[in-house]
């Protein structure tokens, strides 16, 4: 046991200890990284964090700088507001109102995509089917009459019975990349709170995410009925449909994967935690914070659903869990999410999913860690959230339930309320004023990330079972100290703002 622990610690150090400085003669990787945010209008009480870029700028630059190829994953397309369509949540707002909401930023991003398309940039769009009322009209318009633009819809529900393309990734010329929470929607630029990372001149990250993109692309062209199986999923105790190469399928019954090879773990059902997931060393410059170009840092990518994994990259759930567990003794984990449910959302019967809350309780108990969670309170707040959050808060009671526990860790949770969140929706309905002051699906903190004292994890998935097992999502993680510090500052600005309201325990 002790020797195993020593071995684990040894591995941990190998993965996370920064490489020593090397002499200056060696050419260093040119990767630059910035955190990227969208901040809804009228949040005047939020302390700005210097050096963070805006999502609208980054999307424009990604499109504007591409010379060769632009790969985009999208859940849906709504860069252009639809105030004249009575089926839209934008309906009835005046041009002046839309202007004050920042809708023009969305139009500009769309125009930068049009201009990339007109420059004969090869654009590959991998999307979900979009939303009522206009679905994927915008990407279809980009593709119309342009052989250099391919618009492909992947329906993961054909593969899993539910699930969507929910990853939000832009990859430009296999070297510049955005990964984060922002949708291809004007509202995601100025009316929804988002967080992502922009990596520039960073082919070592971009080409890896491109493999994942290509996996999804390949799936879109396969006949799912030839490549799926319904199995008893031993881990989640449910019968469900999965790709036939899934590790949830008993080894002897698995098909050969049409995707690149992923590590096999015989005698195990599902996708267990990898002791040594793929990490890569990267010297990342952070011009928006402190420059740290001379030192290598460990970085990783994690992906969902697990059947899209390749080589030895970890599943997205492991990326989250390991970041929570990376916390040092007595240190703090900061988690920001829109949703929080310890279960599935779209499965029948419902799956119970305690992976993240267990990891939190574990570090509260054994490492005396403080875990701070921000969850969103908004118009589409999910029932059950309050109960699951309060069950997580109950860890505090359990932790100090015996004097022998010697408990010094704690969980603290706040709801985040963007002002105006309960007055969203179309301005007009049946010719009458609704009293709403913002369009539908706005005024929400939609960012998804976790940051400990030693590791930052920037994600695209909601914290609900489905997003890790049936839905496409990507995360980028690193132990780069500047990215960690700046992400902590972003969290603390929210946590200490009047928009974050503590949850009172049961």
Q: Which residues bind ligand NAG (CB under 6 A)?
A: 19, 22, 26, 28, 30, 32, 42, 60-61, 64-65, 86, 120, 122, 136, 140, 143-144, 148, 151, 153, 200-201, 223, 225-226, 281, 283, 287, 289-291, 296, 383, 417, 419-420, 422, 430, 437, 481-482, 485
What's the closest the beta carbon of residue 461 comes to ligand NAG, in angstroms? 22
What's the closest the beta carbon of residue 60 comes to ligand NAG, in angstroms? 6
Residue nearest to ligand NAG (CB): 64
What's the closest the beta carbon of residue 286 comes to ligand NAG, in angstroms? 7
- List, in order, residues 6 or more apart from 39 with CB less than 8 Å away: 46, 190, 193
Helix, strand or coil for residue 323?
helix
Question: What is the distance between the alpha carbons of residues 4 and 339, in angstroms, rounded to a whole number?
Answer: 37
Residue in 61, 79, 74 with CA at minimum distance from that of residue 189: 79
What's the closest the beta carbon of residue 268 comes to ligand NAG, in angstroms? 30
For ligand NAG, the closer CB: 65 or 396: 65
Residue in 328, 418, 317 with CA at minimum distance from that of residue 371: 328
Please work out, in degrees rounded to the nearest 5, the angle formed at the alpha carbon of residue 135 by the alpha carbons of 133 and 141: 115
For ligand NAG, the closer CB: 165 or 411: 165
What's the closest the beta carbon of residue 120 comes to ligand NAG, in angstroms? 4
User: Residues 126, 165: contact at Cβ < 8 Å?
Assistant: yes
What's the closest the beta carbon of residue 277 comes to ligand NAG, in angstroms? 16
For ligand NAG, the closer CB: 360 or 437: 437
What's the closest the beta carbon of residue 315 comes to ligand NAG, in angstroms? 24
For ligand NAG, the closer CB: 1 or 504: 504
For ligand NAG, the closer CB: 61 or 441: 61
Residue in 136, 137, 205, 144 with CA at minimum distance from that of residue 172: 205
For ligand NAG, the closer CB: 10 or 19: 19
What's the closest the beta carbon of residue 434 comes to ligand NAG, in angstroms? 12
For ligand NAG, the closer CB: 212 or 381: 381
User: Residues 296, 479: contact at Cβ < 8 Å?
Assistant: no
Question: What is the distance between the alpha carbons of residues 201 and 56, in angstroms, rounded to a whole number?
Answer: 19
Q: How far is CA 172 from CA 63, 112, 239, in A?
A: 7, 13, 40
Query: How many Cβ atoms from other residues are within 10 Å of residue 311's Cβ?
Result: 12
For ligand NAG, the closer CB: 88 or 361: 88
What's the closest the beta carbon of residue 68 comes to ligand NAG, in angstroms? 8
Q: DSSP string spanning 165-181?
A: B---EEEETTTEEEEES
413: left (phi over 0), alpha (psi -120 to 50) or beta: beta
Q: Residue count of the chain, please give it.
A: 506
For ligand NAG, the closer CB: 135 or 365: 135
* Three-class secondary structure assignment of 484-495: HHHHHHHHHHHH
Question: What is the distance between the alpha carbons of residues 470 and 160, in angstroms, rounded to a whole number?
Answer: 6
Please work out, in degrees rounded to the nearest 5, the angle formed at the alpha carbon of residue 294 by the alpha carbons of 292 and 299: 70
């Amino acid at each position: 046991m002790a020797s195993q622990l020593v071995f684990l610690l040894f591995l941990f150090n190998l993965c996370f200890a920064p490489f020593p400085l090397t002499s200056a003669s060696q050419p260093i990787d040119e990767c630059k990284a910035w955190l990227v945010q969208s901040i809804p209008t009228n949040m005047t009480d939020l302390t700005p964090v210097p050096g963070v870029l805006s999502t609208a700028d980054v999307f424009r630059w990604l499109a504007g700088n591409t010379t060769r190829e632009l790969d985009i994953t999208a859940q849906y397309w709504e860069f252009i507001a639809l105030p004249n369509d009575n089926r839209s949540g934008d309906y009835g707002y005046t041009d002046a109102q839309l202007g004050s909401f920042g809708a023009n930023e969305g139009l500009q991003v769309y125009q930068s995509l049009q201009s990339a398309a007109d420059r004969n940039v090869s654009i590959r769009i991998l999307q979900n089917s979009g939303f009522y009322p206009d679905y994927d009209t915008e990407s279809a318009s980009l593709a119309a009459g342009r052989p250099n633009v391919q618009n492909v819809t992947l329906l993961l529900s054909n593969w899993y019975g539910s699930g969507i393309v929910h990853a939000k990734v832009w990859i430009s010329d296999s070297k510049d990349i955005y990964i984060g929470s922002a949708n291809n929607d004007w509202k995601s630029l100025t009316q929804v709170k988002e967080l992502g990372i922009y990596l520039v001149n960073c082919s070592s990250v971009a080409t890896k995410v491109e493999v994942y993109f290509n996996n999804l692309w390949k799936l879109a062209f396969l006949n799912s009925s030839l490549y799926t199986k319904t199995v008893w999923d031993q881990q989640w105790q449910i019968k469900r449909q999965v790709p036939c190469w899934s590790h949830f399928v008993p080894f002897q019954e698995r098909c050969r994967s049409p995707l690149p090879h992923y590590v096999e773990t015989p005698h195990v059902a599902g996708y267990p935690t990898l002791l040594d997931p793929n990490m890569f060393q990267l010297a990342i410059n952070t011009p928006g914070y402190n420059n740290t170009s001379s030192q290598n840092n460990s970085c990783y990518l994690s992906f969902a659903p697990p059947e899209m994994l390749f080589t030895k990259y970890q599943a997205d759930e492991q990326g989250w869990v390991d970041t929570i567990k990376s916390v040092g003794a007595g240190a703090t984990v900061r988690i920001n999410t829109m949703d929080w449910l310890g279960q599935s959302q779209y499965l029948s019967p419902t799956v119970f999913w305690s992976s993240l809350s267990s990891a939190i309780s574990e570090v509260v108990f054994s490492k005396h860690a403080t875990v701070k969670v921000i969850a969103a309170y908004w118009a589409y707040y999910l029932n059950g959230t309050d109960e699951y959050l309060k069950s997580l808060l109950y860890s505090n009671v359990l932790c100090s339930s015996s004097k022998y526990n010697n408990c010094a860790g704690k969980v603290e949770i706040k709801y985040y309320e963007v002002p105006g969140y309960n007055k969203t929706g179309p301005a007009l309905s049946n010719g009458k004023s609704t009293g709403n002051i913002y369009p539908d699906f706005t005024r929400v903190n939609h960012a998804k990330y976790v940051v400990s004292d030693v590791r930052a994890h920037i994600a695209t998935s909601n914290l609900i079972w489905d997003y890790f097992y049936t839905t496409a999502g990507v995360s980028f993680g690193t132990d780069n100290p500047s990215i960690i510090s700046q992400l902590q500052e972003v969290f603390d600005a929210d946590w200490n703002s009047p928009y974050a309201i503590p949850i009172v325990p049961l």
